């Protein structure tokens, strides 16, 4: 009886454990940066997003994949996860030949993410290794067709863009569920210290040139309003002078016409008046003698200013 009771207890305990295992393996959790690929007898049957989900124990499996997370790939160097200041150089990855047959050391930082969790899990044995080989291939292709000056100084942006575009095109053909998001040159230098210092001096000169150009452009921009104001002032003065001359000309025309009208009324008197005014203008203060009677006798005529009262004031 005791032996039979013990057997029953063992069976009940085994059933409870089995139920617990079944319940425990029937639920899985997916966070907001993940997706779960569900396989039933090894065949993909579903893809689930964030939340708590149920699956059939022993029959179905949930493969959790980080899909909304940027992953990194280091080419030419390896950083220490525990100490960011510690970096190990990988020479067989960073050393390469440029298009003008110079040797350079170039490190690249690559970012990518999973675009299709099913293809990422089942289309290739090691998708990250395939991506790394593709990026390295395009790096050597682009750097090998670029000049050393471009690699070390002002051509980095173009080189990065070309590598990114070419690698993305290759990834589409391989279709391994990965998407390239960014490629950056982490560091680029010559393999010897002497040449490296010389290129740093070149880079410094280029930066100084750019700064000087920016200062000149800023000075130009600051002077433009001043020059425009000066041009406007000159234009307004010229317009004012033009109008002044026009008005003076009109006034002289009016005076001439009025004088001509007087001349027509009494030509002799007008001639004498004009003669006196001319003398007063060109010979101020001069006493003039004229034939007043018409018979040849001379009569003294005082300066014109005595008629205006100037002589009396003196």
- CATH number of the domain to which 88 belongs: 3.30.479.30
Structural domain boundaries enclosing 284: 268-314
- In a domain, residue 227? The reply is no
The Cα–Cα gap between 56 and 40 comes to 9
Same-domain status, 58 and 152:
no
Burial of 237 (0-12, 13-18, 19+ CB in 10 A): exposed
Same-domain status, 29 and 125:
no
Residue that is last in its domain, among 156, 191, 226: 191
Tokens representing 226 are: 């001043």
- In a domain, residue 235? The reply is no
The Cα–Cα gap between 143 and 62 comes to 43
Same-domain status, 40 and 139:
no
- In a domain, residue 237? The reply is no
Tokens representing 189 are: 């230098």
The Cα–Cα gap between 128 and 114 comes to 10
Same-domain status, 24 and 100:
no
- In a domain, residue 127? The reply is yes
Computed from CA positions of residues 51, 55, 57, 62, in that sequence, does the dihedral angle turn out positive or negative? negative
Same-domain status, 126 and 146:
yes
Nearest to 97 by CA among 161, 148, 166: 148
Same-domain status, 22 and 88:
no
Same-domain status, 157 and 187:
yes
The Cα–Cα gap between 97 and 135 comes to 16
The Cα–Cα gap between 185 and 156 comes to 7
CA angle 150, 186, 214 (to 5 degrees): 55
pLDDT tens for each residue of the chain, 314 residues long: 456 676 766 777 766 666 665 655 678 889 999 999 999 988 999 999 998 888 888 788 889 999 989 999 999 999 887 777 788 889 889 999 999 888 899 999 999 999 999 999 999 999 999 999 999 999 999 999 999 888 888 899 999 999 999 999 999 999 999 999 999 999 888 877 777 777 777 778 878 888 899 888 888 888 888 888 888 889 989 998 999 899 888 888 888 888 777 777 777 777 777 777 777 776 666 555 555 555 544 444 445 454 444 444 44
- In a domain, residue 207? The reply is no
pTM: 0.58
Same-domain status, 12 and 85:
no
């Amino acid at each position: 009886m005791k032996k039979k009771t013990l057997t029953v207890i063992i069976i009940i305990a085994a059933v409870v454990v089995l139920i617990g295992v079944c319940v425990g393996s029937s639920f899985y959790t997916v966070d907001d940066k993940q997706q779960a690929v569900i396989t039933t007898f090894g065949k993909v049957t579903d893809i689930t997003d964030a939340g708590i989900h149920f699956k059939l124990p022993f029959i179905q499996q949930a493969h959790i994949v980080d899909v909304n997370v940027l992953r990194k790939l280091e080419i030419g160097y390896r950083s220490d996860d525990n100490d960011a200041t510690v970096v190990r150089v990988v020479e067989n990855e960073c050393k390469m030949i440029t298009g003008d047959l110079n040797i350079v050391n170039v490190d690249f930082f690559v970012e990518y993410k999973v675009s299709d969790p099913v293809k990422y899990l089942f289309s290739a044995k090691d998708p990250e290794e395939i991506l790394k080989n593709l990026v390295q291939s395009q790096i050597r292709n682009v750097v090998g067709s670029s000049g050393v000056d471009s690699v070390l100084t002002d051509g980095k942006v173009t080189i990065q863009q070309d590598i990114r575009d070419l690698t993305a095109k290759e990834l589409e053909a391989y279709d391994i569920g990965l998407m390239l998001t960014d490629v950056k040159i982490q560091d680029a230098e010559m393999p010897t210290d002497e040449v490296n210092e010389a290129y740093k001096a070149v880079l410094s000169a280029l930066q100084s040139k750019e700064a000087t150009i920016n200062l000149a452009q800023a000075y130009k921009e600051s002077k433009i309003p001043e020059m425009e104001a000066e041009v406007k002032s000159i234009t307004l003065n010229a317009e004012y002078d033009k109008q002044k001359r026009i008005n003076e000309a009109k006034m002289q025309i009016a005076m001439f016409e009025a004088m001509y009208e007087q001349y027509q009324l009494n030509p002799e008197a007008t001639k004498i008046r004009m003669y006196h005014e001319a003398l007063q203008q060109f010979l101020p203060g001069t006493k003039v003698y004229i034939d007043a009677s018409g018979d040849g006798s001379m009569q003294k005529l005082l300066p014109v200013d005595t008629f205006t009262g100037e002589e009396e004031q003196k």
